Structure 1
Amino acid sequence: MSYKLLVFNAEANTMYDYAPITQKIDYTTNRNGSAGKLTFSYLQEKPINLTEGAKVQFYADGKEIFLGFVFVIEQDRWGVVSVTAYDQLRYLKANASYSFVGKKLGEIIQQIATDMQLQVGILEDTGYTIPTLTKENAECLDIVEYGLQVTQYNTGRTFVFYDDFGKLSLREAKNMMSNVLIGNGSVLTEYSYKSDIDSDTYNQVKLVRPNKETGQGDTYVFNDSATIKKWGLLQKYEKVDENLNEAQISQQGNIMMAYYNRVLKTISVDGVGGVPGLKAGTMAMFKIKDVPELSTGLFLLLDKVKHIFSDGEHTMSVEAKIINT
């Protein structure tokens, strides 16, 4: 496998390929809440013009993998330099205040990106208009994450917000299907399969709509008596937009119950053969004969993907979960 690790220094107008002197490159993406992160290290035998803010582009076998910017440079007493770069999502950690009325998530992302001077790519139409979204002094990334959550609650569809080699993008998970097979028939060394009701399972949803006339909230409860009897009461509480009518609240409550009222099933895989370009938010086929749910093959949503490029080899660690798309 061939690599290119290009670092551009705009101030000095120079470009240097660090791949020949870099022994290991790690690239990690998470589906929620953080920027894509690329780290590499090298032994500095002579000074190289590397500075904070320098643009980094990484290619594997000619495929675009990562575009970001240097945020951290460390050097130890032995001359080993470690570099951390993040993609554009890192700039969305900036705090801001917004009040959007009647906007779809793509429009909200476009406005924030424009304000933050960031580039956008594909912003798919979610088909859902968010009545109001108001946040004061909040991280821009948290604002987008909230928009993702509200959109999912009201559509039942899973959308992914990510950086696509320098362009902020929004796509539905089912439109990001990979032809990769992970499991039996591919290189698979270690895996851990887990089912739980501890982290993201609820069998009662309580939605509260502010009521200016009464000064109190109108409460709407959705539950499943069968799973409450089986698991005990697991409640999720959410405030909803005051402009939603009862039909809209009912729709949101039913969608949330369909999403949360289940056993969460996740899998972590280590040492699988690397696939250039695979990132969190993609859906990939898992087929593991010893896991009943995966014995015949099933597409799972990738929550976290870590690529390790070292000595010409490429491996991955993957965390994924079963979802209804």
Structure 2
Amino acid sequence: MAKYKLVIENKQLGNLQFPSVEGELTVTWSREGSPGKLICNIVKDENLDYQEGNTVAFYVDDELFFYGYVFEKSRTGEQIIKTTCYDQIRYLKNKSTLQYKNWSYSELLKNICADRHLTVGDIEDTGFKIPARAEINQEYYQMLKFASDLTTANTNKIYVLFDKGGKICLKDIQNMKCKDVIDYDCTLDFDYATSISEGVYNRVYLKLLDDDKREVKSASAEDKDSIAKWGILQYFDQTNNEEDIEGKAKELLKLLNKKHRRLKLKNIVGRTDVRAGSLVPVDMPAIGDIDIKGYMMVASVTHKFQEEHHFMDMEVYNKDISPGISPPSMGSKNSEGLGFGGGFGGGKGASGAIKFLQANIGAPYSQAQRMSPGKFDCSSAVMRAYQSVGLLPTNGYNLTTSTIASDKHFMEINKNQLQPGDVCWKKGHMEMYVGGGKTLGAHKVGTPLGYSTLGNRFNRFYRIRGDS
């Protein structure tokens, strides 16, 4: 039988306390930035005295399983204190401003932890160097998520950030494989759900409109076999952006013509090596409409301890079982003010385009790979920023410094009319104005995407049409 021990250190009093726990103690780990969480009901006695901020250690068979800090306490008339504790990942929710250059994801993590006085453990070298990055008023976790996403895009490796026994760790997910197989014999219950109710479509119907909202053409794509099984589940969208709507309809059908599946395993015999991000071998044939045999990623796990018992609930994903996908809207441009001198600067689209560029600060400059993920030249940065908010076409469209003057999606303005989102141009180069006398864009080889001073560097200025 397993032995469990909870220890609270009250540093103000300079003592260790070993409280009694009533009922179940749970430890939950989840992906995507949620800190590890321990919840338990502690029996109050005359000698017990602990406060928010005190450290909490939970041991399983004398091995440290969870280490964190008291964040919440609540009680009723009974002498029971419901206590919630979080591990160090909770402190990555703090915000700050940070600039760095040529750091890897792992180096960024080490520097943040050193600055915040967080204890680190096994941090694997992620290799890929981020050329330069400026993070303005961001949560530390969001800074790390950007570095993680950029590293995955450039290395095809997924890294898992977690706190293990009071030490922040970073590991390649392939180094987080668990050995023990999860099957029907060790699982008391499961919840397997399938659905075609929300976000599933087997027919896609799109319309292209002109600026007066008259239909120019339509396109559709459908899966006859799926329709025979499910009936018609139609997705409809329309746009007045110049889209390749035939190609878009096929893309959307491929993305949306899939049954949603979700799997939660309940009351599994507990294993202390399982955490969010672990890869666990699952062997569960004929579970509903599919067979499962292979590794699955743990999206979340709750370990449940009571008396000598240890069970766990977890949600797991693989290529067939994953969260539902929200259909991406094609967007549209405002049909008002499209004549010369019309349109609006600083609209919602401009704000979104600026946010797109801000999210890519530090990305390297490359003309040869101007459309590759995480790489830009000056014109592709502006173009992709406005494509991200639906104000420029995405198929068969190309914006360059030599075409913007004749591009019908833009109109020329005077410098004294500049508002955030407008384009600043000089021969061979363009950037986006962001306000306050600053521009943002991709500069040249060796200089990553970032901010510059407007000054007198540019001699022509353009505004995208139809933003509001």
Scaled to the shorter chain, the TM-score interval is 0.7 to 0.9
Q: Paired residue for 2:97?
A: 97
- Superposition deviation, residue 46 in structure 1: 2.6
Distance in 2 between residues matched to 1:147 and 1:308, nearest whole Å? 33
Q: Paired residue for 1:232?
A: 253
**Matched residue SS, 1:67:** strand
Checking the alignment, whether the CA contact within 8 Å between 2:41 and 2:81 is kept in structure 1 is yes
**Matched residue SS, 1:69:** strand
Structure with the higher strand share, 1 or 2: 1
Distance in 1 between residues matched to 2:108 and 2:41, nearest whole Å? 37
Checking the alignment, whether the CA contact within 8 Å between 1:288 and 1:294 is kept in structure 2 is no
Q: Paired residue for 2:276?
A: 280
- Superposition deviation, residue 233 in structure 1: 7.6
Map Cα deviations across residues 62-83 of structure 1 (whole Å, 9 max, x no partner). Answer: 2321011111111112222011
Checking the alignment, whether the CA contact within 8 Å between 2:194 and 2:259 is kept in structure 1 is no
Q: Paired residue for 2:156?
A: 156
Distance change (3 Å), C-alpha of 1:323 and 1:104:
farther
RMSD: 2.9
Does 1:301 pair with 2:297? Answer: yes
Q: Paired residue for 1:169?
A: 169
Distance in 2 between residues matched to 1:144 and 1:122, nearest whole Å? 16
- Superposition deviation, residue 185 in structure 1: 3.3
Segments of structure 1 that go 5 or more residues without pairing to the other structure are 200-220, 236-260
Checking the alignment, whether the CA contact within 8 Å between 1:64 and 1:277 is kept in structure 2 is no
Tell me which amino acid in the other structure corresponds to 2:279: M
Q: Paired residue for 1:203?
A: none
Tell me which amino acid in the other structure corresponds to 2:311: T
**Matched residue SS, 1:189:** strand
Distance in 1 between residues matched to 2:165 and 2:268, nearest whole Å? 23
Checking the alignment, whether the CA contact within 8 Å between 2:110 and 2:120 is kept in structure 1 is yes
Checking the alignment, whether the CA contact within 8 Å between 1:187 and 1:272 is kept in structure 2 is yes
Distance change (3 Å), C-alpha of 1:320 and 1:232:
same
Distance change (3 Å), C-alpha of 1:25 and 1:153:
same
Distance in 2 between residues matched to 1:297 and 1:38, nearest whole Å? 31
Map Cα deviations across residues 196-249 of structure 1 (whole Å, 9 max, x no partner). Answer: 8959xxxxxxxxxxxxxxxxxxxxx9xxx6x952743869xxxxxxxxxxxxxx
Tell me which amino acid in the other structure corresponds to 1:315: F
Distance change (3 Å), C-alpha of 1:136 and 1:301:
same
Highest CA radius of gyration, 1 or 2? 2
Tell me which amino acid in the other structure corresponds to 2:273: G
The two structures have a TM-score, normalised by structure 1, of 0.76
Percent of aligned pairs with the same amino acid:
25
**Matched residue SS, 2:27:** strand
- Superposition deviation, residue 302 in structure 1: 0.7
Checking the alignment, whether the CA contact within 8 Å between 1:63 and 1:276 is kept in structure 2 is no
Distance in 2 between residues matched to 1:23 and 1:135, nearest whole Å? 44
Distance in 1 between residues matched to 2:38 and 2:290, nearest whole Å? 31
Q: Which has the bigger relative contact order, CA under 8 A and spacing at least 6? A: 1
Does 1:312 pair with 2:308? Answer: yes
Map Cα deviations across residues 229-278 of structure 1 (whole Å, 9 max, x no partner). Answer: 2743869xxxxxxxxxxxxxxxxxxxxxxxxx998765211121111232
Checking the alignment, whether the CA contact within 8 Å between 2:192 and 2:288 is kept in structure 1 is no
Q: Map 1:6-17; keep pairs closer than 5 Å.
A: 6-17=7-18
Q: Paired residue for 2:212?
A: none
**Matched residue SS, 1:34:** coil
**Matched residue SS, 1:178:** coil
- Superposition deviation, residue 47 in structure 1: 4.8
Q: Paired residue for 1:239?
A: none
The two structures have a TM-score, normalised by structure 2, of 0.54
- Superposition deviation, residue 323 in structure 1: 5.4
Distance change (3 Å), C-alpha of 1:53 and 1:175:
same
Distance in 1 between residues matched to 2:32 and 2:258, nearest whole Å? 21
Checking the alignment, whether the CA contact within 8 Å between 2:55 and 2:68 is kept in structure 1 is yes
Tell me which amino acid in the other structure corresponds to 1:170: L
Distance in 1 between residues matched to 2:26 and 2:17, nearest whole Å? 19
Checking the alignment, whether the CA contact within 8 Å between 2:187 and 2:266 is kept in structure 1 is no
- Superposition deviation, residue 121 in structure 1: 1.1
Segments of structure 2 that go 5 or more residues without pairing to the other structure are 201-242, 321-468
Tell me which amino acid in the other structure corresponds to 1:24: E
**Matched residue SS, 1:276:** coil
Q: Indicate which of 259, 270, 274 corresponds to 2:266.
A: 270
Distance in 2 between residues matched to 1:316 and 1:186, nearest whole Å? 11
Distance in 2 between residues matched to 1:178 and 1:9, nearest whole Å? 35
- Superposition deviation, residue 115 in structure 1: 0.8
Distance in 2 between residues matched to 1:297 and 1:233, nearest whole Å? 25
Distance change (3 Å), C-alpha of 1:233 and 1:193:
closer
